[in-house]
Chains A and B, each alone.
Chain A
Amino acid sequence: MLSFILKRLVQSVVVMLVVALIAFMLFRYVGDPVASMLGQESRIQDHDALRERLGLNDPFYVQFANFISNAVRGEFGISYRLQQPVSELIASRLPATIELAFASALMALVIGVTLGVMSALKPRSIATALVMTLSLVGVSLPTFLIGIGLIYVFAVELQWLPSFGRGAVVDLGWWKTGLLTESGLRSLILPAITLSLFQLTLIMRLVRAEMLEVLRQDYIKFARARGLSARTINFGHALKNTLVPVITITGLQLGSVIAFAIVTETVFQWPGVGSLFVNSVQVVDVPVMAAYLMFIAFVFVVINLIVDILYYVVDPRLRIGRAAQ
């Protein structure tokens, strides 16, 4: 077990280093950081001074090492566009994104797994056909259109829910939450639905496909031949076996919800890191782009690690070695 986790940890560190290298190259070679920071009416001397101060004259590996040691401390420099430290920018916007991602992940997981299991168990029912067709529509509807549609219906026409923003937030000191006020919760509904819909369809289709595959296996046929009840077979045997591969992919999908939030946040003007990123891309605000990339990679690596450990716990074939024969 220990060696397994250690192995995964080492892999995670390698992945983080590779992403850091990409982020660093972005930072260093896309555009001219000095020109971006000083603006156009600056003098040559200022340029040289800043170059020296930023360490841009150091050898490549020294610069990379500095970048990493800064990154570990959460320092990514100063945003070209907003002239604020990137770390502050991201920290102030993180709670909004995480609350949104969490709400939609939960929704996608619960509804997605339920619908997936149901449609696999009753492959020929009308409800399944309907769900499958709707899921295809769901995959074909771009997230931003869903958002616009929901805004139009529920905010503009019916005026039930707010169309943008996060509502009132409560400052807990280290975290500004929108989950404690009515307007905050109401503001969360539409973006959360919008963000979860795509993941929901994906999870549903995945669970359905895996479950159908499992139901075809010999051990399910043998379980029938043993006379076990349909309930035991479907929810005891088939579901557990379905969940093993589903855990991996679902876990990663949920991780990507945070990154997926980019579009939703833009549509709903949600003050999260995603909309910060989009605005930065438009004006090539490299420090923010690099920091965002590192942040997403970190989320991915952590979730990956959790998924691997979960996988290990669920599947005895990984946990317990083959006995000598």
Chain B
Amino acid sequence: MAEIMEKAAATEAATTPVISVRGVTVDFPLRRGNFRAVEDVSFDIMPGEVLGVVGESGAGKSMTGSAIIGLIEPPGRITAGEVLLHGKRIDNLPPDEMQKLRGKRIGMVFQDPLTSLNPLYRIGDQIVETIRRHLPVSEAEARERAIGLLREAGIPSPEDRIDAYPHQFSGGMRQRVVIALALAAEPELIIADEPTSALDVSVQAQIIKVLKRLCEKHGAAVMLITHDMGVIAETADRMIVMNKGRIVETGKVGDIIRRPKEDYTIKLIDAIPSITDPIRVHEKPPAQTPLVEVKNLVRDFDLSGSMFDRLFGRTAKVVHAVDDVSFSIRKGSTYGLVGESGSGKSTCARMMVGLIRPTAGEVLLDGKDIWQAGAFERRRKVQMIFQDPYASLNPRWRVGDIVAEPIKALGLASGRGEVEDRVADLLERVRLDAASMRKFPHEFSGGQRQRIAIARALSSQPEFIVCDEPTSALDVSVQAQVLDLMRRLQDEFGLTYLLISHNLAVVRTMADDVGVLNQGKLVEQGPVDKVFDSPQDEYTRMLLSSVPDISKIV
């Protein structure tokens, strides 16, 4: 009898969802009326399942996660629907009961491992306090468990590292600690909110593996929230696509990526670049003659600290941020420069536009060194597009003045009327109406701001534009539009681009040639298809294999 009951309980446990979200709506009463962050969202997560939740910014995916674990920032609150944990309603629990449930039955992993841990406490203390809060174990037992968890999470020699402080770990290692912490009290569900978005591709792949392996081992279901469809493709069993607070489509990952049904999902998937996409064909093939040549470029940074440290015999610490890099860019072509953070790609870009002086080597534009004879010409012929469209436009200036700045600074037009005509023309070319001129940047969306930045770059009629991660701050659908605009402007004006990106798929769809930077050295370069399809260097191969891509469905 008891046996039968047990079996029944077991089957029931397997068929009852860990978490059931029923018609949940989250509202934020704001100054300009009510903002509905999540609207009528319903889904289940079964035990051991990995559910991916994907959507662009403002889709309400993170808010749904916060709603489940009961951590919505005021004034936001759940105004309709219910959340059930193993069939028991939890969204109406009193705060202290909910607090006991967090960590014990639902764990959470946040995006930024650098800020998730308290810098003043040893990581061991933070794990032990979590374990002892939820489980009736002694200090020594909790410490044993903590060491075990750290070992499982892939921290080498956890017996020693448990007494280290967070700042003594790298970003990837810290995220492993965070995952170990989230699993410390054996919760049934882990909500992972963009767990890898702040990390480099190579680290990203490892963290996803650790998360998946640990959750499988401890029998925890996972709700994986991310904007990156590639991560979901490689990790999740089922997925939910969200847009503007609502669920657009639900289904098996493979089904949705290969055969999306809803219009929104079809467009979204279409906009995602892949490292297997066909390479780009120009309307007008680029010339074979180089416009820009980089020869043996070196940039050192002196990190040896203050004069005082040197007096006390600290050895000088010089870092080669860029180490003997040479490449050339054909006129009218796009050269893609890829690498992880700290690879020196941005330093390279800044030396090529005149922002950072090279330690050695030269940057030639039309055969003249932009740091020597070509310095004056450089100001007109070289422009740059930046990553963050919020920081690249002066918030106190009107758009018209922003776009006109190069024209005025370089004296390219005289008279107000002429300047205004040119600005209107430029805005039209980036598909913004002329009335935008009198507005301020904050009145525009991220994608629109990036177009304003492009218009400014174009206004000096440059020949060479350095694009430093031009779309990494944008949503995929907006990214596709901006990339499309960049392609068309290139063909229209015969521009030459240096495209810097950590996103290999973007480089694949934009560039003609590509160079791979690793720790300041150019490890491989060549035509895009050759490098992507038959990489020669070990590092390039590692990068290509670890990048999450929608072509890699599990």
Contacts and interface: CB of A to CB of B under 8 A. Distances in A.
A–B touch (CB < 8 A): the answer is yes
A224 B102 contact: yes
Nearest to B104: A227
A317 B133 contact: no
B103 A228 contact: yes
Nearest to A223: B118
B209 interface: no
Contacts of A174: none
Contacts of A7: 308
A223 B69 CA distance: 13
B308 A222 contact: no
A221 to B, nearest CB: 7
B390 to A, nearest CB: 20
Given A227-B102, A227-B134, A317 B167 contact: yes
B130 interface: yes
B499 to A, nearest CB: 29
B121 interface: yes
A323 B169 contact: yes
Interface string A314-325: 111100101101
A222 B169 contact: no
Contact of A227 (B101, B169, B170, B312): B101
Interface of A (DSSP majority class): helix
Interface in A184-232: 217-219, 221-230, 232
Contacts of A219: 115-119
B359 interface: no
B117 A314 contact: no
B107 interface: yes
A304 interface: no
A193 B181 CA distance: 48
A325 B173 CA distance: 10
Interface string B178-201: 100110110000000000000000
Interface string B518-541: 000000000000000000000000
Interface in B88-104: 96, 99-104
Interface residues of A, number: 31
Contacts of B108: 222, 225-226
Contact of B102 (A226, A315, A316): A226
Bin chain B's interface residue count: 35 or more
B19 to A, nearest CB: 15
A226 B181 contact: yes
B110 interface: yes
B438 to A, nearest CB: 36
A227 B118 contact: no
Which of B118, B121, B181 has its CB near the most chain A CB atoms (within 10 A)?
B118
B530 to A, nearest CB: 33
B164 interface: yes
A218 B71 contact: no
A225 B191 CA distance: 10
B107 A225 contact: yes
A308 to B, nearest CB: 14
A140 interface: no
Contacts of B169: 323
Which of A244, A316, A325 has its CB near the most chain B CB atoms (within 10 A)?
A316
Contacts of A228: 99, 103, 129-130, 133
Nearest to A222: B116
Contacts of A221: 71, 110
Nearest to B191: A225
Contacts of A218: 110, 112, 115-116
A312 to B, nearest CB: 13
A240 interface: yes
Interface in B311-357: 312
B440 interface: no
Contact of A323 (B69, B100, B168): B168
B102 A244 contact: no
A225 B103 CA distance: 6
B119 A317 contact: yes
Contact of B129 (A217, A224, A232, A240): A232
A237 B121 CA distance: 8
A135 interface: no
Given A218-B115, A322-B167, A227 B99 contact: yes
A92 interface: no
B120 A222 contact: no
A216 to B, nearest CB: 10
Contacts of B178: 222
A283 interface: no
Interface in A229-245: 229-230, 232, 236-237, 240-241, 244
Which of A219, A315, A323 has its CB near the most chain B CB atoms (within 10 A)?
A219
Contacts of A217: 115
A6 B121 CA distance: 27
Which of B101, B104, B130, B173 has its CB near the most chain A CB atoms (within 10 A)?
B130
A315 B119 CA distance: 8
Contact of B120 (A10, A230, A244, A322): A244
Nearest to A325: B170
B120 A241 contact: yes
Contact of B312 (A3, A229, A240): A3
Contacts of B182: 225-226
Interface in A1-49: 3, 6-7, 10
Given A217-B115, A225-B69, A229-B99, A316 B110 contact: no
Contacts of B115: 217-219
B371 interface: no
A227 B133 contact: yes
B43 interface: no
Contacts of A320: 165, 167-168
Contacts of A225: 69, 71, 102-103, 107-108, 110, 182
Contacts of A241: 118-120
B139 to A, nearest CB: 15
Interface in A67-108: none
B349 to A, nearest CB: 25
Contacts of B170: 325
A316 B168 CA distance: 10
Contacts of B102: 224-227
Contacts of B116: 218-219, 222
Contacts of A224: 71, 99, 102
B218 to A, nearest CB: 16
A7 B312 CA distance: 10
Contacts of A314: 120
A23 B168 CA distance: 46
B490 to A, nearest CB: 39
A294 B421 CA distance: 65
B130 A10 contact: no
A320 B121 CA distance: 12
A227 B110 contact: no
B96 to A, nearest CB: 8
Given A225-B182, A227-B185, A241-B119, 20 more contacts: A6-B312, A7-B308, A218-B110, A219-B119, A222-B116, A225-B71, A225-B103, A226-B130, A227-B101, A228-B129, A229-B133, A230-B99, A237-B121, A244-B120, A315-B119, A315-B120, A317-B165, A320-B168, A323-B168, A325-B173
24 contacts: A3-B312, A6-B312, A219-B115, A222-B110, A222-B178, A224-B99, A225-B102, A225-B103, A225-B108, A226-B102, A226-B103, A226-B108, A226-B184, A228-B99, A228-B133, A229-B96, A232-B133, A237-B121, A240-B120, A241-B120, A244-B120, A317-B119, A323-B164, A323-B168
Interface of A: 3, 6-7, 10, 217-219, 221-230, 232, 236-237, 240-241, 244, 314-317, 320, 322-323, 325
Q: 9 closest pairs, A vs B, by CB?
A: A227-B103, A227-B102, A225-B108, A218-B115, A226-B103, A323-B168, A316-B165, A325-B170, A219-B118
